[in-house]
């Protein structure tokens, strides 16, 4: 079966799928959907995702949207139990963090980054407050644990790491959360790790 990831280079939601594909050494083709020119609103892409969002994963005749759902699908279909365990309680503990990413982290760091770095109109104050609150929770947890759950890297770490790694693009000083930084360094040392692409203006 051929695997195709529809994404955008600066999309954090695309990156976390790219990261898992790379860590699992799964061959795939990435096709860029140009969000800047509105390609995601064209009928061809809407047929893949009526929400007009990347990422979308096409696996043969199967089509999926939402990065969290795609992570789960890849880990389950490739029998990657290290990342997404078979035990119900363990799996739910990992799942907690997928939802933290989709809610607190995305509505915090993600929206603040949109306002500050992509200049999407809106007041960044509320997302910034949310971002600081969730980063404090992550920092507390990661000051006591190497990984978010189960004592090993799981989908929880993949899901939560992407936006956290570019928190400075949301106007936040990443040094404020040292345990989070050390955790990200541990993740970056794992085989197959690929970093989240940086906004050009902030490179170097």
Ligand X SMILES: N[C@@H](CCC(=O)N[C@@H](CS)C(=O)NCC(=O)O)C(=O)O
In whole angstroms, how close is the CB of 118 to ligand X at the nearest point? 10
Residue 53 contacts ligand X per CB under 6 A? yes
Sign of CA dihedral 38, 44, 46, 49: negative
Residue 11 contacts ligand X per CB under 6 A? yes
The DSSP line for 84-152 is S-SSHHHHHHHHHHHHHIIIIIIIIIIHHHHHHTS--SS--HHHHHHHHHHHHHHHHHHHH-SSSSTTS
x/- track of binding to ligand X for residues 78-117 (CB under 6 A): ------------------------x---------------
- 13-42 residues in contact with ligand X (CB under 6 A) are 13, 35, 40
Q: Please, which residue, 24 or 52, has the CB nearer to ligand X?
A: 52
Phi, psi (deg, nearest 5) at residue 81? -65, -20
Residue 165 contacts ligand X per CB under 6 A? no
DSSP, collapsed to helix, strand or coil, labels residue 67 as helix
In whole angstroms, how close is the CB of 101 to ligand X at the nearest point? 8
Query: Site residues (CB under 6 A) for ligand X?
Result: 11-13, 35, 40, 52-55, 66-68, 102
């Amino acid at each position: 079966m051929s695997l195709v990831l529809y994404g955008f280079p600066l999309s954090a939601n695309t990156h976390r799928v790219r990261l898992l594909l790379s860590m699992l050494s799964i061959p795939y083709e990435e096709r860029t959907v140009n969000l800047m020119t509105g390609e995601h609103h064209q009928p061809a892409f809407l047929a893949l995702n009526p929400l007009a969002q990347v990422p979308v994963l096409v696996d043969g005749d199967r089509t999926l949207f939402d990065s969290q759902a795609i992570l789960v699908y890849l880990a389950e279909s490739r029998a990657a139990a290290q990342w997404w365990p078979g035990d119900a309680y363990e799996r739910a503990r990992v799942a907690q963090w997928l939802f933290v990413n989709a809610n607190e982290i995305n509505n915090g760091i993600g929206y603040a980054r949109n306002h500050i770095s992509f200049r999407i109109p809106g007041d960044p104050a509320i997302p910034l407050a949310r971002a600081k609150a969730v980063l404090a929770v992550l920092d507390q947890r990661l000051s006591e644990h190497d990984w978010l759950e189960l004592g090993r890297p799981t989908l929880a770490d993949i899901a939560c790491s992407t936006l956290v790694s570019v928190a400075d693009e949301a106007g936040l000083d990443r040094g404020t959360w040292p345990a989070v930084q050390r955790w990200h360094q541990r993740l970056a040392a794992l085989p197959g790790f690929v970093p989240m692409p940086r906004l050009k203006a902030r490179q170097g």
